[in-house]
Amino acid sequence: CCSPRKNAILRSRCALSSLGSRNILQNAMVCSDEFCQEITWSKILWPVILIPLIFVLCLTGLLLLLRVTCWRKVDESLIGQDSTASSSGWFEISLFSAQLIGSAVSVMIWVDRTYTHKVTENLRWVEVALSIFYVLPYVYRFKVTGFMYSYPLTTPALIDAFTILPVFAWLLQYTDDNGFEFREASAVPWLSMSHLRVSKCVIAYSFLEATGVLDDVSELKRAYCLVFLKVMSLVIILGGTVIFLEVLGDPAALAYTPVTTEMGELSFVQIFYWIITTITTVGYGDFSPKTVFSQIFVIFCILYGVIFFSIESAAVIDLRFKEDSGKGRFHPQPHGSRHIVLVGGGVTHFSSIVSNLLQELYEREHLEQGSQFPNCVLMGQSPKSSQLQECLDNLPPYARSRVQYFVGSVMHPHDLERIRLSQASLAIVVCDVQTADPDTEDRQNTVRALSMKRHCPDLNIRLLLLRPESKRNAIQVGIRAARCQSVNEMKSSLLAISTRCPGYPTLVANLLHSGTRKRLREEQLPPWGLQYIKGLQNRLAAFCIADHVNGKTWQEFVQIALEKRIVPMAVQVEGHVKLNPESHTFQDRDIVFAIVGDPILLPSVANVEVDWRPIFTERQGKARPQRWSTLWQPASTAPANSNSGAAHSGREGEPEKSKLKRNFTPLLQFSAQDLTRVGDRQGSSNISGGSSDAHQQASPRKVRKSRPVRGDMSKDDIEIMELAAERISEGGGHIILVVLVGSVWQQVHTFIRCCRARHLPYHDPIVVMTPEVPNRTICHDLTEPFENVAMMIGSLFKDSDKDRANVQNASSIILLAGRPLAEDWDMADCVGTMSVVSLEYLGISCPTVLELLNDQSAKLLQLYRPSSLAVAHMNEHEDLHPDEGKLPLSASSLSLLDEDSGQAAIGSAFNHLPRFASGNLFSTSFLGAMCASAYYVPGVFELTEALTMAHCQTSFPWQVRPPRDMGGEPYRVLASWIFKGLREEVDSAELLGIPLGIYRQACKGDKYSTNHVIINPDMDLILESTDCAFVLASERYGQACAASGLFALPSMAQKDESALSSAPLDL
């Protein structure tokens, strides 16, 4: 009934009346009620907000300053310890349980205060006691994370800071009369942030599940508990924060004068809040438009909001799905950091090389050396496997955030742009070592490398292939020889070297690993483990020589470096890595690869101010390709060598060119009686085609074919082949190569070829035991070019086959894993582990090396090799249960061994296992460490290839047994003898040996002792009479050692013939 103007005036009066009533009510609450008494921003700003914030910033800055200025010194005592939590025990379980209960009590105290609006004396001291306890979990988590400077900025640490420090801040107050004194409970404001501790209940419960204490509870019940805690945590944190902000009210800085309209009192914040609730279709209804134009406009706002949020939400979900499924784009974290790219079948199907690479890439030791962690980009053709996801979950948090997996193909330029290949510091094509078709795998990886090179011609790429033939093919299509390596060739070469240098694969693998150098307390180590761990603390380094080294010879430089516990191994000469270049004279900025024991002494021989990496890369790019040389040649065509006493048998009338041991009959040389034995086995005197010429020929003859014959082998061929193997085995001192599963003839051929290398002073006979019958071509290729190599069909599970191979008198036994037949990766090494157990049951004392496909399979073996007494005890009581015998426990019982002896094991890592330390275990996963080291130390690929395959090298690894009277002397005496003592004995100034370390025998009578490798020992280490030395020296050096009887595995020509078939070689 009123006019519009009168209606507006009435509405204004009503609004003013409402505003006045509200102000009167608020003033009454402030003045008369204790609910908001003295609860202001100025009152709680310092104790509740600023003090925790200052503490967090100061602690973070202090840790960051320590890292930048004196990281190394602080690291030795505090920072950079093992980031892996110790085994879950009563302490962890008690700590997490108490934290869960205490946090729940703190939240209940906070809820009680929201109703009582006051702090009582009793509850105040309960809260103080709980806050003192909360410091312990804070320090524990700080230690577990390695005292990283970023930990105080994490959400759990911030919650601790904002809930613990205010409790102590309210304890004291300062007065002008009495100074600091205890504050009364009634003077403490009841409002706090203790409601945030509800999140600690969720964290503590998650840690309790990780300890395994709740394993007996069903997963469904645990899921219910976890969901309940998460829901309560979310509700309490959000609701408590709203209470905290509403009670405090707006600070004075945000005071404003609202605009009175028909909608009510409006401001920008209020209208912003109303628009968000409206277009998101929430609509609380506390505000609504009153004018016609605003109502029409809001209609369009709601429609637009619904469409807008639907489209944008779908786009965000799609992007999130692409990121989770690996179809997004790579963005470096942090911005501008470097990254490496991993592709290939080993990434798609998760090779063990990738797991080892990631672990080595993010070891803290690289930070100590001044390097920065790179981002790692993995690209596969299918979503990441469960094994890869498990590997990523096991990485430390700081490493997990830097690894990203993408789905795509390197054949598509768009996918290469997604991973920013052109900006990558290093790209590695990883092969799948578990594939059933190595030829196809190598061809695909070669094509991948070519596609990446075409997209980025200057890309620093590395190609890992399986077969040596594939490497030659890759070189022919344009991949540089220094950029591609054959995994099987390197593996077979290392296994071949281990037959004359036991423990050498362990030495090479430990040089590439930095994760094995974790600091352990000396009282936790067994006697043998102390020196082994000290050897692991040596690191592989490269550097430019110091200015005062210019013009010095290699021999002079080595002598200076050895005094500083720096062992030079190689130099970059004309762009190529050369081992022990005896005739080299140093020029300006020559780059040396060395084993460094004490980095502090490195500046005495190195120019640490010069970055050697670009210099190395530039010289490598200008180097002329080397021609691939053959490392072996048949003994029948080997050149005569009169300087080596082991190069000939020493008998009159025997040719000096033969490097075979004198007590063995050459392969396939049989008498008429031998051939008659074959005919008797077949029930006929006819050997082939009904001819009886073999029986009519009484003189020895050599059965050779001018060219390989294709087709399957007949029974007669198999009998002749096995007869040759038995003849070789009868003499003892032979090498037994056991193919466990599959037909890996190429690896067998590489192994034999390396054992027949031209630089070796003598060649050991080889018997290849395989479960499958090879065809004629394979048998011809494995036996025809080499002397004293034979094959037999059999298995180590059969006692008759072990007797025919004469395993008791073999010089070494190599168990080649082959290809796994089982789809279950955990069962990949079941044949190998059972074969080792069957050999140890017989008490085999010769060096035995087992190749593992899965590193975790080492836990299936006993931790230590059984001693002779334990084997004898087991043989006498074969009916006893294994638990009743005196055998050592398995590697899965490390904690039980620690309780039993206190010094049984040094760690659960693969490199810490006693069997690996002794050289009895081998795994190709060490190549992952080589790939990771290539990012920090360019040239590691070339150096590893030189140490394993000796391609285009003049120096080779040897294992030398020093004179026994050297026992009890310090290691510096042995190092001096290796470097110049042998030269004086043989009167040759050209012989130069470089000591790499020693191979120490197990202590007799100690069942918890084992053979082990010590890399670059301390000069004051006291030698034992049974110690052997690893030496890097020339061919002439090896010949001189062989002539002097200094090899760790002596030539059979140096042993008594009467003991050849009865006494096994004892290391």
- DSSP per-residue codes, 579-601: ES-TT-B--TT-EEEEEES-GGG
Q: Which of 132-136, 284-288, 425-429, 446-450 has the lowest mean pLDDT?
A: 284-288
What is the maximum alpha-carbon separation in the chain?
141
What is the predicted pLDDT for the residue at 671?
A: 43
- Neighbouring C-alpha atoms within 13 Å toward the C-beta of 704: 11
Q: Which of 19-23, 162-166, 851-855, 889-893 has the lowest mean pLDDT?
A: 889-893
pLDDT of 131 over the 60 cut = yes
What is the token pair recorded at 811? 């010089």
Provide mean pLDDT across the span 270-274: 88
Q: In 3D, which of 900, 803, 817 has the Cα closest to residue 858?
A: 817
What is the token pair recorded at 1035? 């061919």
1029 φ/ψ angles, rounded to the nearest 5 degrees: -110, 135
Could you tell me if 767 and 737 are in contact, meaning their C-beta atoms sit under 8 angstroms apart?
yes
Q: 699-710 pLDDT, tens per residue?
A: 333 434 444 455
pLDDT of 15 over the 60 cut = no
Tokens 């390989």 locate to 708
Q: Using the Cα atoms of residue 338, residue 342, residue 347 and residue 348 in order, give the sign of their dihedral.
A: positive
Q: 550-577 pLDDT, tens per residue?
A: 999 999 999 999 999 999 999 999 889 9
Q: Cα(134)–Cα(101) distance, rounded to whole angstroms?
A: 11
Q: Cα(755)–Cα(492) distance, rounded to whole angstroms?
A: 10
pLDDT band at 424 (very low <50, low <70, confident <90, very high): very high
Q: Cα(807)–Cα(812) distance, rounded to whole angstroms?
A: 9
Could you tell me if 944 and 484 are in contact, meaning their C-beta atoms sit under 8 angstroms apart?
no
Burial string for 540-559 (b: 16+ CB within 10 Å, else e) reads bbbbbbbeebeebebbebbe
Burial string for 24-44 (b: 16+ CB within 10 Å, else e) reads eeeeeeeeeeeebeebbeeeb
Whole-Å CA distances, 765 to 537, 652, 787, 1030: 38, 21, 8, 23
Beta bridge partners of 789: 766
Q: Using the Cα atoms of residue 23, residue 24, residue 30 and residue 31 in order, give the sign of their dihedral.
A: positive
What is the predicted pLDDT for the residue at 666?
A: 42
Which is higher by pLDDT, 875 or 895?
Answer: 875
Q: What percent of the chain has pLDDT over 90?
A: 37
What is the token pair recorded at 1067? 């290391």
What is the predicted pLDDT for the residue at 414?
A: 93
DSSP 1001: P
Could you tell me if 659 and 652 are in contact, meaning their C-beta atoms sit under 8 angstroms apart?
no
Could you tell me if 939 and 426 are in contact, meaning their C-beta atoms sit under 8 angstroms apart?
no
DSSP 503: T
- DSSP per-residue codes, 405-458: EEE--TTSHHHHHHTTGGG-SEEEE---TT-S-HHHHHHHHHHHHHHHHHH-TT
Q: 1020-1044 pLDDT, tens per residue?
A: 999 998 899 999 999 888 888 888 8
Which is it for strands 375-380 and 339-343: parallel, antiparallel or unpaired?
parallel
What is the predicted pLDDT for the residue at 34?
A: 47
pLDDT band at 342 (very low <50, low <70, confident <90, very high): very high
Q: Cα(596)–Cα(567) distance, rounded to whole angstroms?
A: 7
Which is it for strands 789-793 and 766-770: parallel, antiparallel or unpaired?
parallel
3-state class (DSSP) for residue 17: helix
Q: Using the Cα atoms of residue 361, residue 363, residue 364 and residue 365 in order, give the sign of their dihedral.
A: negative
Could you tell me if 543 and 612 are in contact, meaning their C-beta atoms sit under 8 angstroms apart?
yes
pLDDT band at 70 (very low <50, low <70, confident <90, very high): low
Q: 458-499 pLDDT, tens per residue?
A: 999 999 999 888 998 999 998 888 888 999 999 999 999 999
Q: In 3D, which of 514, 341, 422 has the Cα closest to residue 936?
A: 514
3-state class (DSSP) for residue 465: strand
Compute the chain's Rg from CA coordinates.
37
Please report which residue ranges of 499-553 form alpha helices under DSSP H: 504-512, 527-536
pLDDT band at 659 (very low <50, low <70, confident <90, very high): low
Provide mean pLDDT across the span 954-967: 88
Q: Which of 244-248, 258-262, 523-527, 1058-1062 has the lowest mean pLDDT?
A: 1058-1062
pLDDT of 436 over the 90 cut = no
For the whole prediction, is pTM greater than 0.85?
no
Q: Give all strands of the β-sheet with 1012-1015 in edge-to-edge order.
A: 955-960, 1028-1034, 994-1000, 1012-1015
What is the token pair recorded at 285? 């209804």
Could you tell me if 657 and 633 are in contact, meaning their C-beta atoms sit under 8 angstroms apart?
no
Q: 495-511 pLDDT, tens per residue?
A: 999 999 999 999 999 99
pLDDT band at 655 (very low <50, low <70, confident <90, very high): very low
862 φ/ψ angles, rounded to the nearest 5 degrees: -65, 150
pLDDT band at 454 (very low <50, low <70, confident <90, very high): very high
Q: Cα(400)–Cα(362) distance, rounded to whole angstroms?
A: 9
Could you tell me if 406 and 378 are in contact, meaning their C-beta atoms sit under 8 angstroms apart?
yes
Q: In 3D, which of 519, 513, 527, 525 has the Cα closest to residue 910?
A: 513
What is the predicted pLDDT for the residue at 896?
A: 27
Provide mean pLDDT across the span 401-408: 92
Q: What is the 3-state secondary structure (H, E, C) of 313-338?
A: HHHHHHHHHHHHHCCCCCCCCCCCCC
- DSSP per-residue codes, 714-738: PHHHHHHHHHHHHHHHHT---EEEE
Q: 185-199 pLDDT, tens per residue?
A: 888 889 999 999 999
What is the predicted pLDDT for the residue at 1014?
A: 94
For residue 1032, give the H/E element and its range: strand 1028-1034
Beta bridge partners of 737: 768, 814
Q: Cα(761)–Cα(1045) distance, rounded to whole angstroms?
A: 12
Whole-Å CA distances, 50 to 351, 958, 1045: 51, 66, 77
1015 φ/ψ angles, rounded to the nearest 5 degrees: -85, 130
3-state class (DSSP) for residue 795: coil
DSSP 1050: -
- DSSP per-residue codes, 799-843: HHHHHHHTGGG-SEEEEE------S-GGGTTHHHHHHHHHHHHTT
Q: In 3D, which of 886, 839, 852 has the Cα closest to residue 1064?
A: 839
What is the token pair recorded at 103? 């946090």
Q: 870-885 pLDDT, tens per residue?
A: 444 444 444 433 443 3
Q: How many helices (H) and strands (E) does the chain have?
A: 38, 26
Q: Which long-range contacts (CB under 8 A, 24 or more apart) does 688-695 make?
A: 688/714, 688/716
pLDDT of 325 over the 90 cut = no
